[in-house]
Structures are given as structure tokens and as C-alpha cells.
Amino acid sequence: MHTIDDILRASAAWVWFPRDSEQERDHLQLVRYPQRFGGGVRGSRVESTADAADVLEHAVARTRAWGESQLTFWTNASDQPDLEDELRRQGAEHIDTVTVFALPIGEIEIDVPADATAEIVRTLDQVREVDSINVPVWEQSALDEDGLQIELEEVAAGLASGEGFRVLGRLDGEAVSTGGCTIVDGFTRLWGAATLERARGRGAYRAVLAERLRASAEHGATTALVKGRVATSAPILTRVGFESFGDERAYRLNVS
């Protein structure tokens, strides 16, 4: 069984490095996102003996050095020092909040409607369907044929190694929802959940969630960890029994 401290550490350590991104780990974690995902720099995981103002100044300077004009920082309870007050003092805008949820996989029961199904992504056609969902939901650029092929290779590698996979959800056979997971130290990190707006509230997300949990258990994961957006997935996760372990907030600072 994972303890509360295990869960909080796992949440703090969870950072995404998109393909073709750049990153630096000095005072805090900084990741420069490729233009396909809107560009800009994401910051998190502060571990520094400097004060909050100096850490933020370093992050701003690195953002500018990368030629970017926007820094987005995600708070975490384990940050040392905490940058939230300094971000507000410098005029950063609070743009998003997620709740950190976790629960032993064996304790989760999900009611999935009969017309909602989910499947593990294995083929190029499925990757194309996933992209058709992600583009409007996340407001990102569509993958070209080379990008789709690279994505398929990454999906296949994750499946072969047992490190993770992506799931595609359907309503009456139509692809409308997706989500991925990565398995680390007995946790399955549930990420990237997206459902087309016209299909929300009909069980597609629940089908994707149930399939990710089922497959994660087969790959040895014992605890599900997910950061649910307060405005979308958090209420669903609460209803199926996930336990909250606090919030993480995103602040956006224009540095141009």
C-alpha cells in the first residue's frame, strides 16, 4: 500500500517532457514546450535554497533566454520555497486548478453505460482518431503523417515495455474520448484525458478511465494517481471514490 507521503512525492515528481521539448533542472524544473503544444515554458518542482523572488527571477530569465514570452508555473505542496505569493505579487494570472486524487486500484468501481466502450491504442488509425480528439480539446496543432507515425512508435514502445499506454473511448462506435497512463513505482499516472465537448456527460470518460485502470492492474500498478481539473474530471473522480490529496494551481506570467 502506498502511504500519503508516497502519494505526495509521486505527485510532485510527475513532470511531462513532450517530444521535441527542452528542459532545465536548476532551482526548479523548467520545460520549454514545442509550438505544437502552444510553446512557452512550464515550471514546477521547486527545490532551492534561494528565496522565492530569486527562484522566480531565474525562471523568467531562462524563459526569455529560450526566446519565449510566457511562463506557466504549477504549484505543489512540496515546493521549497513556495512561489505562489511571489507569482501573485508579480502579477501572474491564476489560470487553472487541478485536484490530486489517488486510490488503490482494487477499490475503484466504475459504472460504464452500455453504449460506451474503450480500447488500447495499437494502430495508426487509432492514433489518428486520438489526434482528432486532442486537437480541438487541447487547442493544439494536428499531427502530420510523420508525426502520427512517430506517435504510433512511441505508443508501441510503451506497450512493449509495460511502461504505459493510451486508451481510445467510443460512443456507439464513434471515437470521442481518450486518455493515457504511465506506470511508475507501482503508481499508474492517469494523464491526457480528453472528451469532445458534444460527447461529454454520456460515459465515454468513465469507459476510458475503467480501461486504463484494468490494464494498469495487469501491468502491476496498485495505486491510481490522477490530477483532475476542477472544472471537468474532478467531480467524476470524486463520485467514483477517489480520495483528494490537495490542489495544484497554475499561474501564467507574461515575461516579454
Percentages (nearest 5) of helix, strand, coil residues in the chain: 35, 35, 30
| The predicted structure's pLDDT at residue 52 | 98
- How many Cα neighbours within 13 Å face the side chain of 14? 24
**Domain-by-domain residue ranges, the chain?**
4-99+248-254, 109-240
Beta carbons within 8 Å of 177's beta carbon, 6+ residues apart: 118, 133, 168, 169, 170, 171, 193, 194, 195, 196, 199, 204, 205, 207, 208
Beta carbons within 8 Å of 215's beta carbon, 6+ residues apart: 120, 165, 167, 181
pLDDT in tens, 32-56: 999 989 999 999 999 999 999 999 9
Q: Which residue has the cell 491510481?
A: 224
Neighbouring CB atoms inside 10 A of 251's CB total: 22
* Residue 73 near residue 104, CB atoms below 8 Å: no
What torsion, rounded to 10 degrees, do the Cα atoms 100, 139, 73, 11 define? 20
Q: Which residue has the cell 507515425?
A: 149
Phi, psi of 73 (to 5 degrees): -115, 135
| The predicted structure's pLDDT at residue 129 | 98
Mean of pLDDT over the chain: 95
Beta carbons within 8 Å of 230's beta carbon, 6+ residues apart: 97, 98, 99, 247
pLDDT in tens, 95-150: 999 999 999 999 998 999 999 999 999 999 999 999 999 999 999 999 999 999 99
Q: What confidence category does residue 256 fall into, taking pLDDT thresholds of 50, 70 and 90?
A: confident
Report the C-alpha gap between 85 and 10 in whole angstroms.
24
- The answer to whether the bond into 81 is cis (omega within 30° of 0) is yes
Homologous superfamily, domain 109-240: Gcn5-related N-acetyltransferase (GNAT) (3.40.630.30)
